[in-house]
Structure 1
């Protein structure tokens, strides 16, 4: 059975028609005066899912998260969590906890007191608090830092304290608002995998808001790509990347080359689009557009081949071009190639060996080609 990309775990309740969502957002709209932050949005999130809300600033993702937390109330629509309508339920009565981007730690309290704060507010017994705090410290590997204050910790350690405090009350859902934004690149990458492992070991539902595509692609079971208060597509990371449902999603996620053309041939499961001077893109697709219709075709840079010799069949999925720019990134090399049609495309090549016998040069004439199942026909 073929899959679009690798999968982290065999977990897909959204594919089971009998599965009930743990969080159901039903036709929710949120207005601030005349401004519509969230626009008639519906969304299902399942128990034990790591779900990401991804989008540019102002798309409504943080507003939706704040409505889940209870800090904002929907103008219309409803939010149901584990069968309970959350309308009118204050934040402190909801079985959720939120980890803020700023971490919001108390600077005058030690690590252990920061973690224990919510438990004390709930009136938990002292011995139970001590046991729970110890569990949380072990979980985030900060036992040696229990008596330190936030200003004595690194950014990564403060992030772990905030996470431990958020999880100490054992919420049904953990909401994370740009949780890794303050960390440097290397630490952020390490923490992404730690969060994934932690979420699976605890068996909780995580909902994370981020504008970082790589972060969402790495951590989430599914991603909701948002734009102007609406959901553009909800799917697994591989489906979002390999089978975007629109031009917006294709362009928003990762690097992509998009061609505009006209449908020139149709066969069962295959469509050809004339996209430039002497350049026809043939792609396997279940879509059946009408002959002569305008169509878009998208293909990722890593799926383009740059060669000196023409492919075996140069009549489709191939074009001549001229190398305009070359970027060496260590693990890969990026080529900007101006095709015969005049369009400049981006291609990437993995540097699998240390030395290249005949490296490409600027202004060199080359062929750009790709396989039939490498690109995707765009609906709009």
Structure 2
């Protein structure tokens, strides 16, 4: 059975659930969001990713109705949100602090918003029980927030946010308070819950790994603008700019001058008197322009002898080694003083490390291993 790929953004017939249309937000003379246009679709798990102060939380607060738009429009299901107060939007927001009521039990915390909506008791009971099942909290229903773990409190906040069946759930750094192992486990729970409920999730995070794990699409932001929106694999493998390549994961950036070689091939002259590196790209570069090769450490092979068939190879000396359990990262200094990071997987337990500090090694990579970027 072939599984259909979820990609409504590629279907011109699909109507977006959320539309940012030329949205600008100013605080006094400071522009937090700068003429931003972006569509988000129903059932998406959409991540806003960027450093502190890039505008991602401002975007979320405008969606929730806590900030007004200075210029432009935000539409939710085709309706302009400008005049709609936060409590009347089909939107719920889950805060980093979870904001649970400490004197209420887990069950009462989840029921709180439904009681305020004056939901009939039988419906309310059924809905709270459904949320408890969804978040696997049935056993903790009568406990107070201080009697459960951080990960369980995070799930209570999620259950409470979903209880009113919003069209859209906004998550502001929702896993920031959890330790690394728990955060990783909870990421998969979040994805599972999002899939089961079919609610559109928009998550704000500065954690690249988190956004790459949970999101259907990632929007990388900087200084009030979206620099690139794409699926996690595209963002990683085909960054649109140096900023994106550098912000997501580990990368080597080699600067040089581009010279055409073949149909979509270029030679990148990176150092006087050194053999140029070769790369393929669908981009059209002008002869002699400045260009960059962005290449991930795991795409670079490390060997003792010069590989016969490699189009790109360079000899260097290991100046540092980071042992990360599942892999080792070698920092290799090549002629001209540039340091290249290369990674190898540690597939065998307790095998003697093949390379050590000060060893001379060859680095090599294929024609398509690196992305060629202009800026």
Q: Taking structure 2 as the reference length, what is the TM-score of the superposition? A: 0.97
Equivalent residues of 2:290, 2:374 under 8 A apart:
no
1:202 equivalent to 2:176? Answer no
Cross-structure match for 1:3? none
Match of 1:49 among 44, 53, 68: 44
Cross-structure match for 1:362? 357
Match of 1:110 among 105, 120, 130: 105
Cα displacement (A) at 1:281: 2.0
1:144 equivalent to 2:134? Answer no
Match of 1:135 among 121, 130, 144: 130
Cross-structure match for 1:120? 115
1:341 equivalent to 2:346? Answer no
Equivalent residues of 2:259, 2:267 under 8 A apart:
yes
Q: Distance in 2 between matches of 1:145 and 1:313?
A: 61
SS at match of 1:267: coil
Cross-structure match for 2:297? 301
SS at match of 2:201: strand
Q: Distance in 1 between matches of 2:371 and 2:214?
A: 25
SS at match of 2:67: coil
1:287 equivalent to 2:292? Answer no
Q: For 1:18-97, list aligned pairs within 5 A.
A: 18-97=13-92
SS at match of 1:321: strand
- Unmatched 5+ stretches in structure 2: none
Q: Distance in 1 between matches of 2:365 and 2:263?
A: 20
Which of structure 1's runs of 4+ aligned residues deviate more than 3 A?
Answer: 355-358
Match of 1:374 among 340, 349, 369: 369
- Unmatched 5+ stretches in structure 1: 1-7
* CA shift digits 1:95-132 (9 cap, x unpaired): 01010000000111111111011111111112211111
Cα displacement (A) at 1:9: 6.9
Match of 1:248 among 222, 226, 243: 243
Match of 1:14 among 9, 18, 31: 9
Cross-structure match for 1:153? 148
Q: Taking structure 1 as the reference length, what is the TM-score of the superposition? A: 0.95
Cα displacement (A) at 1:64: 0.3
Equivalent residues of 1:266, 1:288 under 8 A apart:
no
Cα displacement (A) at 1:282: 1.4
1:329 equivalent to 2:309? Answer no
* CA shift digits 1:32-68 (9 cap, x unpaired): 1111111111111011111000000000000100100
Cα displacement (A) at 1:358: 6.2
Q: Distance in 2 between matches of 1:289 and 1:299?
A: 18
1:167 equivalent to 2:159? Answer no
* Count of equivalent residues: 372
Equivalent residues of 1:24, 1:43 under 8 A apart:
yes
Cα displacement (A) at 1:27: 0.7
